[in-house]
Amino acid sequence: MLINCVAYQEGKKLKDILIEEISDYLAIPDCFVWVALQDAELAELEKMREEFDFHTLAVEDAWHSHQRPKIDEYGDSIFAVMKLVEIESDELIVGEVDVFVGPNYVLSVRNHSRAGFLGVRERCEHEPHLLKQGSGFVFYALMDAVVDRYFPVLDELETELENIEEQIFIKGAARSNIERLYALKRKVMVLKHATAPLMEATGKLHRGRVPIVCTNSQEYFRDVYDHLTHINLSIDRIRDTIGTAIQVNLSMVTIEESEVTKRLAAWAGLFAVATAFAGIWGMNFEVMPELRWRYGYPSALVVITLVCSLLYRRFKKAGWL
């Protein structure tokens, strides 16, 4: 679906144009065309390929989507894949935006995501002195918008981790905590898979041999790279904390099991003493001195009770009961 198709010249908007007019405006000096598509069909991508002369492999990647974040060069043009990560009902929704960038055009194709980039277009149009830099600045603006959307997701994951940490030492909550920690770990890995490859790819845009279309915007891409570095460091910190929290929870499970084992052992010891006395006096040998004693039975009960009481106090004092 076509969102918009606009021609710009010298940093100012000329007009909204039809797809069939794209090639005409590409021929105008100091003019570039910015097109936005959402969940594009193959026929739409083929039409755009004819107008912009995209590389066939880039169009194929955009059509299949679900690509690893990357930035590929095709001559004097760039094809970039970026992941869109959003939180909805405590679940991560992963979309994708594919961006074709050339000397005089930008085409963005957004897939499986509700959040658009109209705000990015408005921001660029309100800064004509920057938009004058051409398609490279538009590419930066789109990438910056994608990266900025990672920060709320990161904050949400950190908050969720803090909530779990508050429950770690609550008795009986270890199992549920471990389940929540592993669910959180999966979310963190989703964000990691979106940001780490993109950080690596973004390094190409501000150092070394920079693509021609990004030459005038190197410092802006360096800023994006710094943001991605910060995000990835925060993700690594969260992963380490999750690993530590899992180990603590496993230790808590072991401690709780040990306490249960001690209680069972203490009660088993009490019953073992009583059983031992009952077994001795229950052998019924004729020459047993207590066998025909009038007070033998109550005396046996008293002895068993006293010994069990002493053991109970001892176990209680040791914290086993």
Q: Show which of 112, 133, 154 is a domain's final residue.
A: 133
Q: Is residue 221 part of a domain?
A: no
Confidence grade of residue 212 (pLDDT, cut at 50, 70, 90): confident
Domain count, the chain: 2
Q: Is residue 174 part of a domain?
A: no
Residue 272: domain span: 258-318
| Arithmetic mean of pLDDT over the chain | 85
Q: Which of 63-72, 79-88, 255-264 has the lowest mean pLDDT?
A: 255-264
Q: Which of 96-105, 135-144, 253-262 has the lowest mean pLDDT?
A: 253-262
CATH of the domain at 111: 3.30.460.20
Q: Is pLDDT of 269 > 80?
A: no
Q: Is residue 163 part of a domain?
A: no
What's the confidence (pLDDT) of residue 80?
A: 92
Q: Is residue 158 part of a domain?
A: no
Q: Show which of 105, 133, 161 is a domain's final residue.
A: 133
Interacting residues of 250 by C-beta distance below 8 A, sequence separation 6+: 174, 178
Q: Is residue 235 part of a domain?
A: no
Q: Is residue 187 part of a domain?
A: no
Q: Show which of 77, 109, 133 is a domain's final residue.
A: 133
What's the confidence (pLDDT) of residue 144?
A: 93
